[in-house]
Amino acid sequence: MTETTETTGRQAPHPAGGEPVEARVPADLRHVVPREPQQPTAPPRSRPPEPRSPAVATVAATAAARGHGGRLALAVLLLGQFMAILDVSIVNVALPTLRTDLRTSDAGLQLVVAGYVLSYAVLLITGARLGGIVGHRRTFLAGLAVFTLASAACGLAPGTGTLIGFRFVQGAGAALMTPQVMSMIQRTFTGPARARALGLYTTVVAGGIVVGQAAGGLLVSADLFGSGWRPVFLVNVPVGVVLLAVGRRVLPVDGGRHGAGLDLPGVLVISPAVLLVVLPLILGHDEGWPAWCAASMAAGVALFGLFAAVERRVAARGGRPLISARVLRAPGLLPAVAVLILAPASWGAFLFTTTLHLQGELGMGALGSGLAFIPCVVAFGLVSLNWQRLPGHWHSRLIPAGFALAAVAYLWIGPLAGGGVGYEALTAVIGLGLGVMPIVMTVALAHVPVEDAPDASGLLLTVMQLGQVTGVATVGTVFLTVAADSHSTRHAEYATGWSLAATALAAACAALVLARRRASVTG
């Protein structure tokens, strides 16, 4: 009786499902089950493939990431990110040659460097949103194409004005390209694979600046075909062309959210807000910190407040704000933002001031000073690529411990500023401490919904960029002021070490809050 009830209580499948209906019904009850009318069989007709939803596309992309195609896609993304970071620093060592060749003024040299950083920082959040709207793959390839063409134009520029203009365009291309890297990692990889990918990502971000200094010195010193400074830009062209060709084949396709808007009011407020804060930080020291620097930063802070009000109004009207409150409410994201401002500030300032010291009082060339950071980058990569091998309950504790280690190491910059093995070992210890930054990014993104990954990645990239600029402007000013007063970069390293230690210690305190948030969520 039980068998009869269970059999008749469920819907009979269609015969096309495989086994006939009668074969699944007891023989004494087959007269109860109505027979479906037999239809003449016809050859199956081919139908066009149905469009895949974003969720299906994400699943397909994740499956692809498990094979060789996924590793090749990751290589394309990281190389694109590497080129964008490289161009922040590769031009620095070419400035003396550029000044002689183009008869460029001091202000022109500043804008050659600042133009790229400004457009890059200002447009990062907008680039992240565009990726979410039209698709990360499409936006990454478009940004890579703009970046590659602008690099060629910079390398062929006939004068300072055109070079500055194309540097702004180059930064815009980088702002389109780089937010998609973290978003595609977030959407494509899961679990340990995502942790490894984020570790590689952070190593590329940190190492790109150092490699840029060394590569710039090598290219300028080689003076290929008498081209002087131009190869520091032209080197991007063949790499970009290869990445475009390979990327079209291996990057996972995603359709974006075609119904989502760009939040134009938010873009029109946040872009000048970032510009007004970043511009005086870049140009303030060389200009002697005139009154307009303070006024500009104050206006930028006011616009950030206006931006928050605009975003609340957009959300209240049913729109999708540029930075949604849901992203900011993700557990641990706000403490991670604080950490990712402070830690890159100390990292950027350390690279900047140490390079000036190595090329100043220690008399190293551009190539030698770049190679001097190799122990630091190796140690950084050692931690960032292997921390996930440790027990899971250690991860949240590693973050404040790493920054505390970096803070202690920074205090020894002055006493060991004479160079030698001890100084190189010190840079390695600093790299070990700062190597915990990938853990911060992993924790920050762990509880962000996949559909909000573009917004979160744009926010994190923007604060990291602003953190580096802030560190160079503040700690760099301390270094340059003391060096000018004492006529010794070694004396300046003492003051720099204390400033960097304070910044790293503040990052460690923010990391403690992040670790507690993480523990409360996982507990």
* CA-wise closest residue to 462 among 277, 294, 296, 298: 277
- CA–CA dist 163, 234 (Å, integer): 13
470: left (phi over 0), alpha (psi -120 to 50) or beta: alpha
Q: Which two tokens stand for residue 113?
A: 């460097």
**pLDDT higher than threshold 70 for residue 501:** yes
Taking the CA of residue 384 as centre, how many other CA atoms within 13 Å lie in the half-sphere pointing to its CB?
27
Helix axes 54-65, 68-89, angle to 10 degrees: 90
Name the band, by pLDDT with cuts 50, 70 and 90, for residue 256: low
What does the pLDDT average to over 229-236? Answer: 89
In order of 27, 264, 356, 501, the CA distances from 1 in angstroms are 14, 67, 89, 79
Residue 384 CA to chain centroid, in angstroms? 15
Per-residue confidence (pLDDT) for residue 236, from 0 to 100: 92
**pLDDT higher than threshold 50 for residue 11:** no
* CA-wise closest residue to 407 among 495, 514, 500: 500
**pLDDT higher than threshold 90 for residue 132:** no
| 262-312 pLDDT per residue, tens | 778 888 898 888 888 888 877 787 778 899 999 999 999 999 999 989 988
| Pairwise pLDDT comparison (283 vs 510), residue with the higher score | 510
Cβ atoms of 410 and 501 within 8 Å: the answer is yes
Q: Which two tokens stand for residue 245?
A: 């060709």
**pLDDT higher than threshold 50 for residue 477:** yes
Q: DSSP assignment of 332-343, as one string?
A: THHHHHHHHHHH
**pLDDT higher than threshold 90 for residue 172:** yes
Burial class (CB in 10 A: 0-12, 13-18, 19+), 305: exposed
**pLDDT higher than threshold 80 for residue 2:** no
Per-residue confidence (pLDDT) for residue 25, from 0 to 100: 42
Q: Which of 84-88, 109-113, 400-404 has the highest mean pLDDT?
A: 400-404
Tell me what the pLDDT averaged over the chain comes to. Answer: 78
Q: How many CB atoms lie within 10 A of CB 92?
A: 20
Buried-exposed string 316-339: b where 16+ CB fall within 10 A, e elsewhere: eeeebbbbbeebeebbbbbbbbbb
Name the band, by pLDDT with cuts 50, 70 and 90, for residue 213: low
What does the pLDDT average to over 133-137? Answer: 88
Q: Extract long-range pairs of 408-412: CB within 8 Å, 24+ residues apart.
A: 408/501, 409/433, 410/346, 410/350, 410/497, 410/498, 410/500, 410/501, 410/504, 411/497, 411/498, 411/501, 412/497
Q: Which of 55-59, 202-206, 421-425 has the highest mean pLDDT?
A: 421-425
Name the band, by pLDDT with cuts 50, 70 and 90, for residue 224: confident
**pLDDT higher than threshold 80 for residue 518:** no
Per-residue confidence (pLDDT) for residue 238, from 0 to 100: 95
**pLDDT higher than threshold 80 for residue 63:** no
Out of 55-64, 217-226, 364-373, pick the least confident. 55-64
Per-residue confidence (pLDDT) for residue 66, from 0 to 100: 46
- The percent of residues above 90 in pLDDT, for the chain, comes to 23
What does the pLDDT average to over 509-515? Answer: 84
**pLDDT higher than threshold 90 for residue 192:** no
Per-residue confidence (pLDDT) for residue 106, from 0 to 100: 65
Residues with Cβ < 8 Å from 137, sequence gap 6 or more? 180, 184, 247, 251, 252, 253, 254
Helix residue ranges per DSSP H, 360-452: 366-371, 374-384, 392-410, 421-434, 437-446
| Pairwise pLDDT comparison (199 vs 235), residue with the higher score | 235
| 402-458 pLDDT per residue, tens | 999 999 999 999 888 887 788 889 999 998 998 888 778 777 777 777 777 667 777
Per-residue confidence (pLDDT) for residue 10, from 0 to 100: 41
Cα dihedral sign for 447, 451, 452, 455?
A: positive
Cβ atoms of 215 and 222 within 8 Å: the answer is no
**pLDDT higher than threshold 60 for residue 30:** no
| Pairwise pLDDT comparison (390 vs 495), residue with the higher score | 495
| 353-391 pLDDT per residue, tens | 887 888 778 887 767 777 788 888 788 878 877 777 777
- The percent of residues above 70 in pLDDT, for the chain, comes to 81
Q: Which two tokens stand for residue 388?
A: 């996930």
Residues with Cβ < 8 Å from 459, sequence gap 6 or more? 125, 128, 323, 327, 337
Q: Which of 116-130, 135-149, 374-388 has the highest mean pLDDT?
A: 135-149
* CA-wise closest residue to 441 among 365, 364, 355, 511: 511
Q: Which two tokens stand for residue 410?
A: 């920074």
Burial class (CB in 10 A: 0-12, 13-18, 19+), 372: buried
Per-residue confidence (pLDDT) for residue 57, from 0 to 100: 43
What does the pLDDT average to over 141-165? Answer: 94
Name the band, by pLDDT with cuts 50, 70 and 90, for residue 47: very low
Out of 25-39, 115-129, 463-477, 496-510, pick the least confident. 25-39
In order of 351, 394, 406, 433, 471, the CA distances from 401 in angstroms are 21, 10, 9, 8, 21
